Amino acid sequence: MDIAETRHGLVFVVAPAGRIDSTTSEALEQALTKAVDAGQRRLVVDFDGVSYISSAGLRVLLVIAKRLKTQPGTLVLCALTDAVRQVFELAGFLPLFLVEPTRDLAIARCGANAP
């Protein structure tokens, strides 16, 4: 799995590409964990290039969201594809996360929402 990382001021954007499943979720977890370990507190995960996500990926999002909540920090998700959105709906995940339609809006919200 390819994971692109971009910094926009204080906001750190992680953009995985392809499928997020049991075989790739560890790479995503490592990228996000590394960012938080390095002191990033404003994180955006951009799903634009994600074809689908399974519960292995949902677990990673739960872990990072819980961690950022206690830091505290801000996590914003954006550009959910139809497949990702449907899985989020089935898992009851939408109420748990800040979600924006585009990366720009997510970056703005992450900056504005930061503790």
Interface with another protein (CB under 8 A): 19, 21-23, 51-56, 58-59, 62, 65-66, 69, 83, 87, 90-92, 96
Q: What is the dihedral of CA 29, 31, 36, 40, to 10 degrees?
A: -140
Q: How far is the CB of 93 from another protein (least distance, A)?
A: 9
CB of 87 to another protein, least distance (A): 6
Chain position carrying tokens 């560890």: 26
| Crossing angle (nearest 10°) for helices 25-37 and 55-70 | 10
Q: Which is nearer to another protein, 62 or 108 (CB)?
A: 62
